[in-house]
Amino acid sequence: MKTTRRDFVKSAGAGTLGATLIPAALKARAPAVSDGSGYDVAVVGAGVFGAWIAYSLRQAGRKVALLDAYGPGNARASSGGQTRVIRMGYGDQEIYTRWSMRSLELWKSLFSPLGRPSLFQEVGVLWMARGEDPLTTKTLATLERLGVLHERLDRAELEHRWPQIDFGPITWAIYEPESGFLMAFHAVQATVQLAEAAGVDYLQEAVVPPEGKGRLSSVTTRSGKKVEAGTFVFACGPWLPKVFPELLGERIFPTRQEVFYFGPSPGDARFRSPAMPVWVDFAESIYGIPDFKGRGFKVAPDRHGPAFDPDAGSRIITPETLATVREFVGRRFPGLKDAPLVGSEVCQYENTSNGDFLIDRHPERDNVWLVGGGSGHGYKHGPALGDYVTARILQGGAVEARFSLATKEKIQKRAVY
């Protein structure tokens, strides 16, 4: 069954300002709103969230500083991997489907003026399901309701289209032809590049966690610089528990996540686009991205790993996880049974209790915003989130309950995938 896309931009659920991307930003630094010494907003953390918040605020005419301890999309950051999936399906969590739809448009309009459209690869996303599968069934209904282009495929059709996959117990699937993957750290760096061109001041500085209570007037960096601003946004991903240990130490759970890249045989085109889409097997908590530019066929378990320190944690994969992943690959993709491991990454999810993002004011500092909790699915949403945070800062108003600090429990019970 095919459904066509409807106009979704107005009802995308993101901030009402909309990040209207200005190609002129590429040509000249736009003038800042105020010439005073302080910034309107200082954003700490240039991962996908901070980069888009800074860019969106600048689009709205604010004087913005963006700071990062290690650099945009650095190897320790959650946004620092090679690739991230962008899919529209989210069960019945409609807000995330709307944000994905909105974000994909914004990602594309970011990449075009930069002349780098390949930072998004429209290779399609295949959701594999078995039997009743409530998550996929709800996803189907949401995609239909919101007019996302998709197909429902039965087993015979799956085998016909992708003979290189052994579908095992899978009985049906949803295919999103206009989804795919983003070149993760490159796209964050591109966002910061464009933000700087638009007038954001980027500083590679580590911010000392602020102490005390009440309005924050400045932050200090480890090198001794003082950055003054009217509003502060801490978008520190898995570092949020370190920056605000009392508040978030037990509410954001950074977990160790391993990613594997397998090398297909020479000349074997079955595991790269257009023969292979992004695929997700929720029942087995695993997903993958086709071989791209010879970097290998990516396979990543989605189950939460052990607790992880983003500064000092070991980035070497474990033989146990490799063995589990190899077993799965041999079963589902028999042509890769003996494929060599050609690369790996160890990253971290920064999970909230249920997977909903954290976007809220600090309870004791009304000009400080806490933004994070991407929870293994946040990357794709960077643009819509940037828009949303900008709207809340500039227009006020309550945040959605699901994003509030009050809803962040100290016990993990995952509900958003």
Query: Contact residues for ligand FAD (CB under 6 A)?
Result: 44-50, 67-70, 74, 77-79, 81, 84-85, 206-207, 235-239, 243, 257, 259, 300, 347-349, 372, 374, 376-380
In whole angstroms, the minimum distance from the beta carbon of 323 to ligand FAD comes to 19
In whole angstroms, the minimum distance from the beta carbon of 119 to ligand FAD comes to 14
Contact 274, 114 (CB under 8 A): no
How many angstroms separate the CA atoms of 290 and 370, rounded?
35
221 HSE (CA, 13 A, CB side): 20
In whole angstroms, the minimum distance from the beta carbon of 393 to ligand FAD comes to 17
303 residue type, one letter: R
In whole angstroms, the minimum distance from the beta carbon of 31 to ligand FAD comes to 26
- Which residues, 6 or more positions from 187, have their beta carbon under 8 angstroms from its beta carbon? 48, 73, 107, 110, 111, 119, 120
State which residue, 199 or 374, has the beta carbon closest to ligand FAD. 374
Contact 41, 232 (CB under 8 A): yes
- Which residues, 6 or more positions from 312, have their beta carbon under 8 angstroms from its beta carbon? none
3-state secondary structure of 255: strand
Q: What is the DSSP string of 327-339?
A: HHHHHH-GGGTTP
Q: Is the peptide bond before 277 cis (omega within 30 degrees of 0)?
A: no
Q: Which residues pair with 127 in a beta bridge?
A: 174, 280
In whole angstroms, the minimum distance from the beta carbon of 308 to ligand FAD comes to 10
3-state helix, strand, coil in the chain (%, to 5): 30, 25, 45
State which residue, 130 or 380, has the beta carbon closest to ligand FAD. 380
State which residue, 49 or 333, has the beta carbon closest to ligand FAD. 49
In whole angstroms, the minimum distance from the beta carbon of 345 to ligand FAD comes to 7
State which residue, 40 or 350, has the beta carbon closest to ligand FAD. 350
DSSP assignment letter at 381: G
Q: Residue 169, Cβ neighbours under 10 Å: how many?
A: 11
State which residue, 25 or 300, has the beta carbon closest to ligand FAD. 300
State which residue, 230 or 237, has the beta carbon closest to ligand FAD. 237
In whole angstroms, the minimum distance from the beta carbon of 51 to ligand FAD comes to 7
Residue labelled with tokens 């995952």: 414
State which residue, 335 or 370, has the beta carbon closest to ligand FAD. 370
State which residue, 175 or 232, has the beta carbon closest to ligand FAD. 232
| Residues written for the chain | 417
